Structure 1
Amino acid sequence: MTKHNYQKPSQQTQEEALKIAKGIQRPVQTKEQTKLVAQGVQKGIDLYKKQQKEKARDLSRKLNKISRQKESSIASDAHEIQEKVTYKQHWLPWMLLFLTWLGIGIYFLI
């Protein structure tokens, strides 16, 4: 035995479907045909709602997954050892600057 999880469409959906079916009704169309069109529209509305709910669930799952990843990365960042960056400068520019000032000083003394 299989269990069908079919939910009865809401009254609002039925009314919307009937309204749409009457809006596109042909002059020679019978009431039975209009009801069949309304059922088709109603199935379309139900399918659309299911798809939107599924998209919302998927988006919610993705957002939860991202938030969990951020929390775990923040926690792992707290445990990491901070590295101290030191910049070692070369001696040549400082030597050239010193020699330049020394040369200017000697020039003005002579």
Structure 2
Amino acid sequence: MAKNTHSAISNETVEEAQQIANKIQKPGQTKEQTRLIAQGIQKGIAEYKKSVKAKQRQADKEQKKQQKQKQQNTQPSEIEKPTEKTKNNPLPWILLVASWGLFATYLFLQK
């Protein structure tokens, strides 16, 4: 059985190929020859569209890969920042001890 190539090729592509084939038709050329030329043009257009789509998919994959890599590079620095913020600062402890000391002194002087 022969494959039906028209199902994979859009009507727009078929019309475009037929128009191109008619434009380049030479005097004395039969309709069958023109039809074969149009089929060749259709195949060429289909192959071109496939290659463009493949290149676009590859570019999208590369872009996603770069975004993922960039995101992974920024995540470790974000994780390191909170650990630096949790570093113990002695000032709150000093203020806590001083306030309890002053409170104890106040209670002791009240008696």
> Normalization by structure 1: what TM-score?
0.65
CA distance in 2, matches of 1:24, 1:35: 12
Query: What is the Cα-based RMSD across aligned positions, in Å?
Result: 1.9
In the other structure, the counterpart of 2:102 is none
Which has the larger share of helix? 2
CA distance in 2, matches of 1:15, 1:35: 12
Following superposition, which runs of at least 4 residues in structure 1 exceed 4 angstroms of deviation? none
How far residue 79 of structure 1 moved from its aligned partner, in angstroms, is: 3.0
Q: CA deviation at 1:42?
A: 0.4
Gaps of 5+ in 2: 85-111
1:77 maps to what in 2? 77
Letter in 1 for 2:78: A
Counterparts of 1:1-110 in structure 2, within 5 Å, are 7-80=7-80
* Unmatched tracts of structure 1, length 5 or more: 83-110
**Cα deviation, residue 77, structure 1:** 1.8
- State the alpha-carbon separation in 1 of the partners of residues 25 and 42 from structure 2: 15
Q: Distance in 2 between matches of 1:52 and 1:8?
A: 16
Measure, in 2, the Cα distance between the counterparts of 1:36 and 1:10: 17
